[in-house]
């Protein structure tokens, strides 16, 4: 999904009031105060510390405004990347086959179209 689709998906959630595009990695007190954040939620997947080596959720945790939820899906972005890398050859083969089928269908359509233009249509004058 592109950024706009992701934002629209989030805004469709009834518990989401606002989406902060290009938000900082670490949740700051200024951000929480500015947007009047009542709760910061993160799934049970692991996350990296910020550039200072600190927990990016340190501020909301300290304020008691952090909650970790079970998404019911243990898959992470890294899992998806690994799957794509491992299945690259299968994807390429599938896409080449699809491309060949599309090219053949287009060529057949063009041949039919050109053949149809060369023949005179029968006109019934009765």
| Distance between CA atoms of residues 126 and 107, nearest Å | 37
CATH class of 3-73: alpha beta
Is the model's pTM score more than 0.75? no
Provide the residue ranges of all domains of the chain, joining segments of one domain with +: 3-73, 87-118
| Distance between CA atoms of residues 49 and 55, nearest Å | 5
Summarize pLDDT for 50-62 with one digit per residue, the tens: 999 999 999 999 9
For 123, residues 6+ apart whose C-beta sits below 8 A from its C-beta are: none
| Distance between CA atoms of residues 109 and 115, nearest Å | 10
Overall residue count recorded for the chain in this entry:
126
Summarize pLDDT for 71-120 with one digit per residue, the tens: 888 788 888 999 999 999 998 999 999 999 999 999 999 888 876 655 55
């Amino acid at each position: 999904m592109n950024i706009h689709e992701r934002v629209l998906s989030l805004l469709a959630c009834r518990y989401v009031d606002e989406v902060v595009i290009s938000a900082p990695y670490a949740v700051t007190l200024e951000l929480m105060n500015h947007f009047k954040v009542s709760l910061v939620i993160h799934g049970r997947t692991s996350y990296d510390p910020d550039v200072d080596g600190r927990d990016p959720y340190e501020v909301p945790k300290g304020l008691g405004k952090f909650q970790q939820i079970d998404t019911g899906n243990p898959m992470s972005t890294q899992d998806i990347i690994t799957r794509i890398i491992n299945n690259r050859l299968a994807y390429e083969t599938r896409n080449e086959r699809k491309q060949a089928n599309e090219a053949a269908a287009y060529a057949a359509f063009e041949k039919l179209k050109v053949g149809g233009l060369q023949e005179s249509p029968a006109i019934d004058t009765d």
